[in-house]
Amino acid sequence: AAERVRHAGLRDKIMSAEQAADFIQNGMTVAVSGFTGAGYPKAVPTAIAEKAKAAHGRGEAFAIGVVTGASTAPECDGVLAAANCVSFRSPFQSDPTLRNGINAGNTAYQDMHLSHVEQQMRQGFYGAFDVAVIEAVAITEEGKIIPAMGIGHMNEAVKAAKKVIIEVNTAQNAQLEGMHDIVHDIGVPPYRQPIPLVGPFDRIGAPYMECDLDKIVAIVFTDSGDRNSKFADPDDNSKRIAAQIIDFFNHEVKAGRLPKNLLPLQSGVGNVANAVLAGLLDAPFDDLTGYTEVLQDGMLDLIIAGKMKSASATALSFSPDALQRFNDNIEFLRDKIVLRPMEYTNSPEVIRRLGVIGMNAMIEADIYGNVNSTHVMGTKMMNGIGGSGDFTRNAFFSFFVSPSVAKDGAISCIVPMVSHHDHTEHDVMFIVTEQGMADLRGKAPRQRAKLIIENCAHPDYRDQLRDYFDRAEKAEKVGLHTPHLLAEALSWHQRFVETGDMRVK
Ligand code: 0RQ
């Protein structure tokens, strides 16, 4: 305890998760740390869930609003959702139980750009935050908080909340201390200052968070690791997608439009994104840099291999093997990885200035280049937009990647019209599937449609898409800028909902 909680006075606040959960009452809004399965509290959420179940057993209401950095894990979002005690949730999740609760209408979910979260907290849109529950790796002699593997909105959470509960996790490497870069204030408009990051690895703040010590009501010790999901080895589709992106980079470097070490790379969550980074291990680019929300296995391996010189993120989300490599190499990595609050990581200002190359996965794209990242068949929430919008709109190059079909071919990921819009045709520069790539820059909608159908759609759906597009172009009373058959545009989704297959039989 003395090593991890170095402030003697704060040691008086050490208690069990159950005792700490007593600070959380029905109807409260709670800021909970956590970003893509990293940096979330491991013990207090279960204690809250048990409290909720007991209250429900007595016939009493118990539900709270939860605002995190991004997704957490089964022992955080999962247990709370299973106890049916999450009335409101924002801004990103990926937990199956919580997802079911959202889609069943039990949890109100605000899906939003991650770069907006801290601002909306300050603006008071969530009401007052009664409690913040955060994970830390240590507390210094002066009571400064050292986050663990993820920061997300944590800095704002401790500022906004009336009471703060800190889980000090002894399973997290104490040597994380020093890897964070946390700024305390950039001010508010009209006096807001520029974020002075001109290189992806610049340090602009202090390596800890400050918190009014009187607000810290509980310190709970935990010793279990982060979610650490395993990545699937890149499959053929992912490898094909990765190869095309790397070919494109080669081409741009040769043409003098990209520096030899490319530009800072952002990679979204998931296997395909990870495969692109894995592909860069064997590509002829050195001194790469990363400027991303979540640093996963692929980027870690580039750094360890000496291909990437430094990376900035808001969270480290590794498979168990990669976590081992991270811990084994932490001395080497300490001056190559920096973790920042998501308000800086995802800042449009910084992303635009650095010229970040954004690579994110999608659910579907339409023939004109609009992208749906969040809703299955237009109504069911998958995870959320996360940071994909922050990066896509402001990127130097914005890529969307996906296999051309889902569910064994029953779903085409290229459709006449997206069933939900997350990224508009104005933001999306490249669509890449295992079939090919469409470079949409400098193209009008009908030119884009031809490219997307011919290059990206699966052969099983190409004729069906050509037929739709042809008839739309020839239909009466249809504008020829973005031709659509409005009554038919979403019929592919309706067909899937009714028959389980988008193909016309
Ligand atoms: O479902 O596993 O049940 O079969 O969606 O699809 O192809 O494995 O791809 O894991 O990369 O996820 C967009 C969801 C893609 C993710 C999305 C089904 C498919 C499968 C997963 P099954 P894949 P991925 C920075 C960036 C938004 C947030 C973001 C995501 C499952 O990347 O949430 O980008 N992105 N953040 O079968 C119905 C379709 C489908 C479909 C795929 N058209 N219709 N189901 N699936 N296409 C990080 C953060 O912001 C924190």
Kindly report, residue by residue over 266-307, the tens digit of the pLDDT.
Answer: 998 777 888 889 899 999 999 999 999 999 999 999 999 999
ipTM of the predicted assembly exceeds 0.90: yes
Closest residue CA from atom 44 of ligand 1: 376
Say whether pLDDT at 84 is over 80.
Answer: yes
User: How is residue 233 written in tokens?
Assistant: 């080895």
* Mean pLDDT in residue range 195-200: 95
With b for 16 or more beta-carbon neighbours within 10 A and e for fewer, the 423-452 pattern comes to bebebbbbbbbbbbbbebeebebbebbebb
Give residue 11's pLDDT: 97
Active site residues: 293
Q: How confident is the model at residue 228 (pLDDT cuts 50, 70, 90)?
A: confident
What three-state secondary structure class fits 347?
Answer: coil
Measured over the CA atoms of residue 442, residue 447, residue 449 and residue 454, the dihedral's sign is negative
To test the pocket of ligand 1, the residue of 233, 277, 370, 383 to mutate (highest count of ligand atoms within 8 Å of its CB) is 383
* Mean pLDDT in residue range 63-89: 98
Shortest CA distance to 396 belongs to which of 277, 315, 289, 303?
289
Q: How far is the CA of 478 from the centre of ligand 1 (A)?
A: 33
Say whether pLDDT at 120 is over 80.
Answer: yes
Closest residue CA from atom 32 of ligand 1: 361
Shortest CA distance to 416 belongs to which of 481, 472, 497, 360?
472
CA–CA dist 67, 58 (Å, integer): 27
In the block, which residue shows the tokens 């130097």? 396
State whether the beta carbon of 258 lies less than 6 angstroms from ligand 1: no
Q: How far is the CA of 190 from the centre of ligand 1 (A)?
A: 38
* Mean pLDDT in residue range 20-43: 98
DSSP 8-state symbol, 181: -
DSSP 8-state symbol, 455: I
In the block, which residue shows the tokens 């703060």? 164
Give residue 265's pLDDT: 97
Question: Which residues, other chains included, contact 212 with Cβ-Cβ below 8 Å and sequence gap of 6+?
Answer: none
Q: How confident is the model at residue 71 (pLDDT cuts 50, 70, 90)?
A: very high
State whether the beta carbon of 152 lies less than 6 angstroms from ligand 1: no
Q: Are strands 364-366 and 414-415 parallel, antiparallel or unpaired?
A: parallel
Question: Which residues, other chains included, contact 390 with Cβ-Cβ below 8 Å and sequence gap of 6+?
Answer: 113, 114, 115, 346, 347, 348, 351
Q: Atom of ligand 1 at shortest distance to CA of 114? A: 50
Q: How far is the CA of 364 from the centre of ligand 1 (A)?
A: 9
CA–CA dist 115, 431 (Å, integer): 24
**How do residues 467-491 score in pLDDT, each as one tens digit?**
999 999 999 999 999 999 999 999 9
Say whether pLDDT at 83 is over 90.
Answer: yes
What three-state secondary structure class fits 88?
Answer: strand
Closest residue CA from atom 33 of ligand 1: 383
Cα 287 to Cα 151, 303, 319, 345, distances in angstroms? 26, 9, 24, 20
Q: Which amino acid is at 41?
A: P
User: How is residue 182 written in tokens?
Assistant: 């946390």
* Mean pLDDT in residue range 433-448: 98
Specify burial of residue 158 (Cβ count, 10 A radius: 0-12, 13-18, 19+): buried
Give residue 281's pLDDT: 93
* Mean pLDDT in residue range 121-146: 96
Question: Which residues, other chains included, contact 425 with Cβ-Cβ below 8 Å and sequence gap of 6+?
Answer: 368, 369, 370, 440, 445, 448
Percent of the chain with pLDDT over 90: 94
* Mean pLDDT in residue range 435-462: 98
User: How is residue 297 written in tokens?
Assistant: 């296995």
User: How is residue 317 written in tokens?
Assistant: 């989300």
Instruction: Put residue 143 in one of left, alpha, beta given phi > 0 → left and psi -120 to 50 → alpha.
Output: left
Give residue 183's pLDDT: 74
Specify burial of residue 465 (Cβ count, 10 A radius: 0-12, 13-18, 19+): buried
CA–CA dist 65, 88 (Å, integer): 4
Give residue 124's pLDDT: 92
State whether the beta carbon of 398 lies less than 6 angstroms from ligand 1: no
* Mean pLDDT in residue range 228-245: 89
Give residue 91's pLDDT: 98
Can you say how many angstroms the Cα of residue 232 is from the centroid of all Cα atoms in its chain? 18
Q: How confident is the model at residue 405 (pLDDT cuts 50, 70, 90)?
A: very high
What does the mean pLDDT of the chain come to?
Answer: 96
Say whether pLDDT at 1 is over 80.
Answer: no
Give residue 276's pLDDT: 86
Closest residue CA from atom 20 of ligand 1: 406
Greatest CA separation found in the chain? Answer: 78
State whether the beta carbon of 405 lies less than 6 angstroms from ligand 1: no
* Mean pLDDT in residue range 425-451: 98
Say whether pLDDT at 367 is over 90.
Answer: yes
State whether the beta carbon of 373 lies less than 6 angstroms from ligand 1: yes
* Residue 468 dihedral angles phi and psi, to the nearest 5°: -60, -50
Give residue 275's pLDDT: 86
Say whether pLDDT at 27 is over 90.
Answer: yes
